[in-house]
C-alpha cells in the first residue's frame, strides 16, 4: 500500500497534539460498530515527538480476550503486554504504549469517574514509561460516531479539539 496517508489531528488549548491516520481511525470505528450496543476498546501504540508535543499513533492493539456489557469493557492485560514487548523490540524501542481507547454505546464521549481512575492507575504504573497517557472515547448511538481525545495530565483529563 503506497497511497499517501491522510491524518486526523487534534490539539489541546495548551498546544499538545495527537496525530492518527484515517486508516487507524477507520479500524476503531469498525470495532465500535461491530460490538454495538456493547462497549469495546483497546490500546494505542506509537511514539511521542517531544519537539512538537505530538503523540503519533502508529496503530491499535485489540484482543479477543475481554469481558464486555453495554456499560463495561474489561480487557485482559497479558496479551497486550506481550504484544507491546514484541513491538518495542522489533522497532528498536521506537514504538511503545501511548494510551487507551474505548466506546461509549448510546452515550457521550465524556470520561466517567471509572475512566479517570483507570488513567490515573496507568500513569502511576511503574512498568509504563509514559506518564501522560492519552484516552480516546467514542460515543456511538447506532448511527453517528462522536469521538473525543483526552490526555491524563496533573491528575485530570484534558480534552483535545479536532483541527
Query: What x-and-dash track marks residues 93-132 binding Zn ion by CB under 5 A?
Result: -------------------x--x-----------------
CB of 104 to Zn ion, least distance (A): 5
CB of 102 to Zn ion, least distance (A): 5
Q: What are the residues whose beta carbons fall under 8 Å from the beta carbon of 12, sequence distance 6 or more?
A: 151, 158, 159, 160, 161
Q: Residue 133: helix, strand or coil by DSSP?
A: coil
Distances (CA, A) of 74 to 38, 67, 68, 155: 12, 5, 6, 22
CB of 143 to Zn ion, least distance (A): 20
Distances (CA, A) of 17 to 20, 26, 48: 10, 20, 10
C-beta nearest to Zn ion: residue: 115
Whose Cβ is closer to Zn ion: residue 94's or residue 112's? Answer: 112
Whose Cβ is closer to Zn ion: residue 55's or residue 138's? Answer: 138
**How many residues sit close enough to Zn ion to count as binding (CB under 5 A)?**
2
In this structure, are residues 137 and 115 in contact, taking their beta carbons and an 8 Å threshold? yes
CA 5 to chain centre: 19
Whose Cβ is closer to Zn ion: residue 56's or residue 135's? Answer: 135
Q: Residue 5: helix, strand or coil by DSSP?
A: coil
CB of 39 to Zn ion, least distance (A): 7
Q: Which residue ranges make up the site for Zn ion (CB under 5 A)?
A: 112, 115
Amino acid at each position: 500500500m503506497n497511497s499517501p496517508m491522510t491524518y486526523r489531528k487534534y490539539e489541546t488549548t495548551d498546544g499538545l497534539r495527537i496525530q492518527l491516520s484515517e486508516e487507524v481511525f477507520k479500524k476503531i470505528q469498525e470495532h465500535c460498530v461491530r460490538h454495538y450496543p456493547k462497549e469495546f476498546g483497546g490500546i494505542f501504540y506509537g511514539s511521542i515527538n517531544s519537539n512538537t508535543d505530538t503523540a503519533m499513533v502508529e496503530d491499535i492493539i485489540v484482543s479477543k480476550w475481554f469481558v464486555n456489557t453495554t456499560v463495561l469493557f474489561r480487557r485482559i492485560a497479558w496479551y497486550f503486554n506481550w504484544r507491546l514487548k514484541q513491538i518495542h523490540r522489533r522497532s528498536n524501542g521506537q514504538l511503545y504504549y501511548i494510551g487507551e481507547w474505548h466506546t461509549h454505546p448510546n452515550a457521550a464521549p465524556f470520561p466517567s469517574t471509572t475512566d479517570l481512575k483507570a488513567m490515573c492507575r496507568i500513569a502511576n504504573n511503574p512498568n509504563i514509561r509514559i506518564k501522560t497517557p492519552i484516552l480516546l472515547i467514542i460515543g456511538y448511538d447506532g448511527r453517528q460516531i462522536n469521538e473525543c481525545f483526552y490526555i491524563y495530565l496533573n491528575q485530570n483529563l484534558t480534552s483535545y479539539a479536532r483541527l
